Structure 1
Amino acid sequence: MGALARRTPLRFTTQTLLLQLGVVALVVLLSSAVHAWLTYERLGREAENQALTLARTVASDPAVRAEVQQISAQPGTPPPAELLAGPLMAAAEGARARTGALFVVVTDETGLRLAHPDADRLGERVSTDPSEALSGREVTTRNTGTLGPSAGAKVPVFAPGSSTVVGEVSVGYSTESIGQSLARDIVPIALTAAGALLAGVLVSFLLRHRLRRLTLGLEPEEISTLVHDQVAVLQGVDDGVIGVSADGRISVFNAAARRMLDQPDLAGTAWAAAPVPAPLRDLTRPDATEGDAVEFLAGGRVLVASARKALHGRDDLGWVVMLRDRTELQQLTRQLDAVGTMSTALRAQRHEFANQLHTIAGFMSIGQHQQARDYLARLAATGPLKFPVDQAELLQDPYLQAFLGAKGVEADERGVSLRLGPETLVRGVVIEPHEVTTVLGNLIDNAVNAAVAGSAPDRWVEVEVLDEPGAVGDAGTLHILVGDSGDGLPAGAGGDEPGGTEGVFAEGFTTGGPPPSPGPARAGAGQGLGLALARQLARRRGGDVRVLERGTPGGPGAVFMATLPGTIAGATEDATDNPTEDKSENLAEGDNVV
């Protein structure tokens, strides 16, 4: 009993096969039975109609009508021997022999047999009720008489020239002959049923094979578990997952992918026509290298995508495209680099501060107080920390001071002088440091690269930052201009239009020179995304990043302007001296003030 209880249940495909076979066999059996019954009924009706026709023929024979009238008029029934040799017997037997009927019986008005195939039954009353025929109505019957079961008809016999019923004629065909006819007709029915059953069995096996292939041999419970697990995993991970089936349609588009690409659920959409960035579709080209990662911009995000083939055994299931968001990672990396640079600068300047303190102490010890005050004033002009950035006191925001100071140290290491323009003035506090440093950092990095690649002997980058107060209760706007000593934008870098500059904001363009070939930059390359990302971030806030000057070979180089609304707070208007208003007018006119 324990072994039986532990017996492995039938697989779902086997159960389905057995159920299909049972249904096919039942349908074939019922169809055959119904067809046989309808055939039997048809043969029975044909026998009844044939019997009715023969009975009418015999009953309408003038000789039969006259003989039956004569016998009925006699006071009794003639003896059997006389009836056997009489004309009625001869007419009835002749009709029966010609048509193959089971019997042809003639009776008088009381139902006594005047003609019958069995001579011993002559003069006896018929075994079936003759009342309907004797009342003048024709009837068809199926009953069992002295000669066995039959399908027949009863027709009244009228007196010659009168409507008086003087007898009746009963004709019957054996149901055994109907069964023989049915047996002949049932052979094609049986062959048809067998063929249908065989076709059903074959189709059932083919369906079983296809079902196992479609379900990869999994049971329904396993499929249900896989679906629940897939939903839990795909909707729970932070990475975007896009599944592309072998027929080129999107089968999976999880919530992270919808968020990163800012798209609705695209499941069921053709992959070739899906509204996704072109670098994603390029990953699944037949000639694409599996596993390569591509970095591109989408909706203000820096995304890294890779694609791999999905295989199950030898079956090609399509592609799986993975998306990872590197926007926050790049911001954190930029901040970490700035902090590291500041830390290095602080360690390097610790000794210099000690020397400066010794100098001040020396002035004080010899009584040179005025020289000590002048020396302290020169130190204060460099800002809270001594970075290679002049006029740091124009930036009241400590975040901008630290960030530009760190960038100044980086630029100085590459032989580039980073300086603040004379009209720089920030009186507020930056409230969106991540976006400000992303835009400002990308512009400065590109300018430093251009200065290093330029032909001018004096390499410099000049930055002007100006805040513009917003309406009452609203954050203000930060205006940024960045220029360099490079050779300007290369010819043809701005696109097809004469003098155009939009092309520099395309993915893959760098201010150090155009890429060797158009297309997205490879992940980790670190170039080709800065200007595009800066413009997307600015436009997402209602601002913009544009080119004010293309620059000239030999210098000065290109000038970029960024406008970042809602990023500064605490800026105030000065009624007597409002450089913000004047500077805003210059920026609106597109003047190169760097």
Structure 2
Amino acid sequence: MLLLQLACVTVVVAICTGVFVGIGVQQLRAEAETSALSIARTVAAGSDVRAGVARASADVGTPTNASLRGGPLSALAAAAEANTGALFIVITDDHGIRLAHPEPQLLGAEVSTSFAEALAGRETVSWESGTLGESARAKVPVRDPNTDEPVGEVSVGFAPSSVFKELPLLLGGVALAATVALALGAVVSFVIRRRLEHLTLGLQPEELSALVQNQAAVLDGVGDGVLAYGPDDVVTVANTTAARLLGISDLVGRRIHDLALPGPVIAALAGETKSLSTGGRGPDAADPVVLADHVVYIDTHPVSRANRDLGLIAVIRDRTDVVTLTDRLEAVASMTDALRVQRHEFANRLHVAAGLMDAGRVPDARDYLDDVLETSRTAGGPSAGEHLTEPFLVSLVEAKAAQAGERGVQLTVGQDSLVRGVVSVPEDVATVLANLVDNAVSAAVYGQQPRWVDVELLDDGDTLVMTVSDSGQGVSNGARVFSDMERMNLDPDAVHGRGIGLPLVRDIAARLGGDVWLADAGGRDGNGAVFCARLPGVMRAPARPAQGEES
């Protein structure tokens, strides 16, 4: 590219130089012709010249060379040549006979060039070759002082050497200007080359073309969203997946902090957050955030080349399906743990009953079995009691009660609980309730005896309201418990914020049109924190029994 620019500058300078030289030569020729014409007019207008030429033309004979040498016309022409620097000043009569000439031996002879135009009364300017060589000459008619008719001519010529004596100076000036222009063009071309190298990171045009093709193929070929922006926070690259996940079609050219997105998403895109659930692995670790109906992970990576900061690239991974499957697997794992605990408890009861019978204490064994049967007849189950009968919630609460029991925490359902509908969105309900219960159990483990967690569930139309309280130490920083701030370096099981995370739980509730909030930070009278959640649109009315079926 530099060679191409230099070649272009050289051609332009060469063309301009040729044009200027041509114009300069033409100006010198025009000046010589104008000077010759002016001198010829002046000489031809002289009274002595007009009278002398008129007498010579009136003489029927041809004047001799001897009679013309040293004559008044020769003296007058010689003086004019000396004063003007002309190559020659020739005066002729009406027959073209030289009456004055720089070379005396040619006096009395006819001129070698045409004099018809002058005798016709017309002035001419031209470049012609005569006895004295090529010259810029002007021919002017000499008029009779009495009749004003042309009776001869005055021819004045300038030699090319005198005409173009200033040409070397002109050429030198043009050459100097051309050299300066060429040097300036080379410097500008070099500066432009350095500027382009700086802007393109040293890549050549062919490499840039290949880079654009590869970028388009990569961005359109990956399933994740890709967003890149420079040090000024202005988005420079965004594929269609990123635009779809963020819900903004015109991302390129806009600043990250000006996008209409939630604060946690802006912070994640700007690389301002660290992973909390993984112990803060560093700036490249990601926390899940909720975007509309999607649960995404945003990883940011700094980009640099040749120790130059080029900004950040954010990779947006849609993990909605993975999170949904994870929630379902966690629910299955909870049920499995509950069944394992129940199997273990059932085996213990069988051992107790068998031991009483082996000891011959049949009445005691019968009473023991009656107590077990009475407990199993509870409508909602041993932990849910009579206050909760919705199948999904009963299963979830029983599973969480079994897990809490293994950690020495008693989970109960409050007496004010009342759920008449059926859960229609089990994944979101399980995510929110399980997360709040897990947090409460973890907090209760580090509280005082007795360790307990209380859950109250109420439905109002299609809205489910849940309240989870515990016997832990409370929340010391309740105002920021839902923020994405980095937690203190404590045992992760000792604080609220386990599992999928309270910020994400609040985002899920907000996506449903509800909310999750801290009702009471606790920390006094042996009571821990109280969290509440409101989830609209997650309940539906129970199916009516068919006619004839037992209600």
Q: Which category of TM-score, normalised to the shorter sequence, fits these structures?
A: 0.7 to 0.9
Kindly indicate whether residue 397 of structure 2 is the aligned counterpart of residue 404 of structure 1. Answer: yes
Kindly indicate whether residue 460 of structure 2 is the aligned counterpart of residue 465 of structure 1. Answer: no
Residues 182-261 of structure 1 aligned to structure 2 (within 5 Å)? 182-201=167-186, 203-204=188-189, 207=192, 211=196, 215=200, 218-245=203-230, 249-261=234-246
Moved more, 45-54 or 273-282: 273-282
Q: Check whether the contact 1:467–1:571 (CA below 8 A) recurs between aligned residues.
A: no
Moved more, 369-378 or 151-160: 369-378
TM-score normalized by structure 2? 0.80
1:209 Cα deviation from its structure 2 partner: 5.7
Identity, in percent, stands at 44
Number of residue pairs the alignment of both structures matches: 522
Residues 430-449 of structure 1 aligned to structure 2 (within 5 Å)? 430-449=423-442
1:561 partner amino acid: C
Which one of the candidate residues 77, 88, 95 is aligned to 2:73? 88
Q: 1:226 to 1:184 in 2, by over 3 A?
A: closer
Instruction: State the match for 2:166 in structure 1.
Output: 181
1:69 Cα deviation from its structure 2 partner: 1.5
Kindly indicate whether residue 389 of structure 2 is the aligned counterpart of residue 394 of structure 1. Answer: yes
Instruction: State the match for 2:34 in structure 1.
Output: 49
Moved more, 196-205 or 404-413: 196-205
What secondary structure is seen at the aligned counterpart in 2 of 1:391?
helix
Residues 36-435 of structure 1 aligned to structure 2 (within 5 Å)? 36-160=21-145, 162-201=147-186, 203-204=188-189, 207=192, 211=196, 215=200, 218-245=203-230, 249-269=234-254, 277-278=266-267, 280-281=269-270, 283=272, 292-295=284-287, 297=289, 299=291, 304-312=297-305, 316-325=309-318, 329-350=322-343, 352-353=345-346, 376=373, 378-381=375-378, 383=380, 388-391=383-386, 394-395=389-390, 398-435=391-428
CA distance in 2, matches of 1:283, 1:129: 97
CA distance in 2, matches of 1:566, 1:134: 118
1:241 Cα deviation from its structure 2 partner: 3.7
1:389 partner amino acid: A
Which blocks of at least 5 consecutive residues in structure 2 are unaligned?
275-279, 546-551
What secondary structure is seen at the aligned counterpart in 1 of 2:151?
strand
2:67 partner amino acid: E
1:375 Cα deviation from its structure 2 partner: 6.1
Q: Check whether the contact 2:387–2:415 (CA below 8 A) recurs between aligned residues.
A: no
CA distance in 2, matches of 1:554, 1:309: 49
Q: Check whether the contact 1:244–1:318 (CA below 8 A) recurs between aligned residues.
A: yes
CA distance in 2, matches of 1:246, 1:165: 89
Q: 1:289 to 1:113 in 2, by over 3 A?
A: farther
Which digits, 9 at most, give the CA deviation of each residue in 1:411-463, with x for residues without a partner? 222322222233434344333222222222232233334434444x3332222
Q: Check whether the contact 1:508–1:529 (CA below 8 A) recurs between aligned residues.
A: no
CA distance in 2, matches of 1:82, 1:528: 134
1:381 Cα deviation from its structure 2 partner: 1.7
Instruction: State the match for 2:541 in structure 1.
Output: 570
Which blocks of at least 5 consecutive residues in structure 1 are unaligned?
1-15, 470-475, 495-502, 510-514, 575-594
Q: Check whether the contact 2:439–2:498 (CA below 8 A) recurs between aligned residues.
A: no
Kindly report the root-mean-square deviation, in angstroms, between the aligned alpha carbons of the 2 structures.
4.1
Which digits, 9 at most, give the CA deviation of each residue in 1:52-73, with x for residues without a partner? 2211210111111111122222
Q: 1:354 to 1:452 in 2, by over 3 A?
A: closer
What secondary structure is seen at the aligned counterpart in 2 of 1:180?
coil
Kindly indicate whether residue 483 of structure 2 is the aligned counterpart of residue 506 of structure 1. Answer: yes
CA distance in 1, matches of 2:442, 2:372: 35
Which one of the candidate residues 463, 484, 505 is aligned to 1:477? 463
CA distance in 1, matches of 2:432, 2:348: 37
Q: Check whether the contact 1:283–1:307 (CA below 8 A) recurs between aligned residues.
A: no
Q: 1:174 to 1:344 in 2, by over 3 A?
A: same
CA distance in 2, matches of 1:262, 1:255: 10
Q: 1:336 to 1:216 in 2, by over 3 A?
A: same
2:329 partner amino acid: L
CA distance in 2, matches of 1:91, 1:289: 110
CA distance in 1, matches of 2:138, 2:203: 66
2:514 partner amino acid: G
Q: 1:402 to 1:284 in 2, by over 3 A?
A: closer
TM-score normalized by structure 1? 0.75
Q: Check whether the contact 1:295–1:302 (CA below 8 A) recurs between aligned residues.
A: no
